[in-house]
């Protein structure tokens, strides 16, 4: 039944957008974090999406090539050097008095967070539309 796999595709989109939103929230929470288990300041994380062919639910090969879900392929770490602020009194200050802070722009992350929320909503709307089609098919039995 091809409509059920359309729901699976939308669900993969919801899951990917949720992962992205979680990473963005983590970035915002750690915008001033100077200590991490790996050492050094926190580094901004972002989700890299990749499209992924979805396996059909009941082995039906019909239309399998039509459906492409989405998956989080990797979580990329910001490779830019950290932001240096002159704070000689800070416990993590280097010998020159500069402290390495994460290079995080809260405004940019908030914009991305809004985008992730809208992407999530679009997938929810797609599921609702497909569900409506399924229910109408079931109504044919009445």
- How far apart are alpha carbons 45 and 39 in whole angstroms? 16
Minimum gap (Å) between residue 130 Cβ and another protein: 6
Taking CB under 8 A as the criterion, the residue among 38, 62, 79, 96 binding another protein is: 62
- Write each residue from 92 to 111 as x if it is in contact with another protein (CB under 8 A), else as -, in one continuous string: --------------------
Kindly indicate which of the ranges 6-14, 21-29, 30-38, 75-83 contains the residues binding another protein, using the contact rule CB under 8 A: 6-14
Q: Which DSSP symbol is given to 1?
A: -
Which CB, 96 or 139, lies closer to another protein? Answer: 139
Burial class (CB in 10 A: 0-12, 13-18, 19+), 135: exposed
């Amino acid at each position: 039944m091809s409509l059920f796999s359309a729901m699976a595709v939308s669900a993969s989109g919801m899951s990917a957008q949720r992962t992205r939103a979680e990473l963005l929230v983590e970035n915002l929470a750690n915008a001033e974090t100077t200590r991490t288990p790996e050492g050094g300041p926190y580094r901004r994380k972002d989700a890299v999406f990749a499209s992924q062919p979805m396996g059909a639910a009941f082995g039906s090969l019909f239309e399998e090539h039509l459906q492409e879900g989405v998956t989080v392929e990797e979580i990329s770490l910001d490779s830019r050097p950290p932001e240096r602020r002159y704070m000689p009194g800070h416990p993590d200050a280097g010998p020159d008095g500069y402290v390495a802070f994460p290079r995080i722009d809260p405004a940019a992350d908030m914009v991305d967070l809004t985008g992730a929320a809208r992407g999530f909503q679009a997938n929810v709307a797609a599921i609702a539309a497909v569900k409506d089609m399924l229910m109408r098919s079931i109504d044919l039995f009445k």
